[in-house]
Amino acid sequence: MNILLLASHAVAEYDDLRMLTDLGYTVFCPGGYANPGQPTVDTRPPLAAPYYEDLARLCDVQRERHAGESVDWAVDWAKADLHPNLVDWADTIIVHHYVDRWIAAQMTKLRGKRVIWRTCGQSSPQLELYMAPFREAGMQIVRYSPAEKKAFSAIRTYAGDDAIIRFGKYPEDYGPWIGDQRVVGNLTQNFVKRGESTNLTAWQELTDGLPTCPAGEGSEELGGSGRLSYPDILVYWKHLRVHLYTGTQPASYTLSLIEAMLSGTPTVSISADRTWLPPLFEAETILGQDPTWDDARRVEELRHILDDDDYALEVSLRQRQLALDLFHVKHVGQQWVDFLGGPS
């Protein structure tokens, strides 16, 4: 089975390309991992996956064809105007982002193909309503979180689903946890710049008076480490004593939460009530955390983990097992095989 994977988030692109290739599918991504062995992004390492140079050239043709056009900064014309030969090659097209441009605007071109919208934390009531007719016309939807159904059904905007499959990770990439850096951490890009999209106020209020070391581009503004390479991110999670998860709006959960949990880093989440659409926020459920805690109880938990070695280890082991149960690539991969059909 030939799979065309359209994503704009390099980490998600890396994860899915790795998983689907390991499962035996033929996968091409017209993005940072178009040439998996020599990616044009540095957020994750190169991959030992095939390079389809002829398909990459088709992408370049489309970019050259639209050169100089004034468009949204996020649009890659290799994806927004798929080359007909690339569409012909693909048996299945999985789309993560910009589904209005990468699916809706190209439906005539994609007719007869299996098209899947793989949600990844960017949906909204408006987008659900917009995409519903496309599902009725044959597009499939694979949800990354059951919270999307809960939240959007409650306000009668849910576009439906054909499967619910969580993000998949390779547990052996992470840990073992050490926890000797006795600070509260967080890994978010442009935390201050993005403001309430990253729940900055919650971070500031819950960590007031506690030792902190956030990480990620722009974290220097909060006394943090700044941008970290991928190897340094792995080291950061291993040594961090406790993680205060703030998430990003409107995602139910993010990849950083999974990576922290698989690293064994004890994690405390902000309240769903801090988010734009509380039923959509799933982090507390994933962590096994009591959603009735008020902010004072959350701060108490952060202090307990900072101060008590035995308790910190207990939380670490419990949350890592929860992550293994939900996000281990062997479980997630089998769900994709069951949904897609075998790779041959």
Q: Are residues 16 and 162 in the same domain?
A: yes
Q: What is the pLDDT of residue 209?
A: 97
Choose among 63, 15, 66, 23: nearest CA to 41: 15
Q: Are residues 163 and 27 in the same domain?
A: yes
Domain count along the chain? 2
Q: Are residues 125 and 76 in the same domain?
A: yes
Torsion of the alpha carbons at 114, 76, 166 and 281, rounded to the nearest 10: -130
Q: What is the pTM of this model?
A: 0.95
Starting at the edge strand found earlier in the chain, the sheet holding 181-185 runs 181-185, 240-245, 267-269
Q: Which 3 state secondary structure label does DSSP give 84?
A: helix
Over the stretch 101-160, which tens digit does the pLDDT of each residue have? Answer: 899 999 999 999 999 999 999 999 999 999 999 999 999 999 999 999 999 999 999 999
Q: What is the pLDDT of residue 75?
A: 75
Contact (CB, 8 A) for 142 and 164: yes
Over the stretch 190-243, which tens digit does the pLDDT of each residue have? Answer: 999 998 999 999 999 999 999 999 999 999 999 999 999 999 999 999 999 999
CATH number reported for the structural domain that contains residue 214 in this entry? 3.40.50.2000
Q: Are residues 137 and 14 in the same domain?
A: yes
Q: Are residues 25 and 149 in the same domain?
A: yes
Domain assignment of residue 21, given as a range: 2-168+329-340
Q: Are residues 301 and 268 in the same domain?
A: yes
Over the stretch 243-265, which tens digit does the pLDDT of each residue have? Answer: 999 999 999 999 999 999 999 99
Residue 67 has pLDDT above 90, yes or no: no
Q: Are residues 145 and 260 in the same domain?
A: no
Q: Are residues 230 and 313 in the same domain?
A: yes
Binned at pLDDT 50, 70 and 90, residue 74 comes out as low
Choose among 315, 309, 327, 307: nearest CA to 290: 315
Measured CA to CA, the distance from residue 313 to residue 320 in angstroms comes to 11
Beta bridge partners of 177: none
Q: Are residues 253 and 335 in the same domain?
A: no
Contact (CB, 8 A) for 81 and 56: no
Residue 64 has pLDDT above 80, yes or no: yes
Which contiguous run of DSSP H or E holds residue 4?
strand 2-6
Q: Are residues 175 and 303 in the same domain?
A: yes
Phi then psi for 257, rounded to 5 degrees?
-65, -45
Q: Are residues 255 and 335 in the same domain?
A: no
Q: Are residues 74 and 113 in the same domain?
A: yes
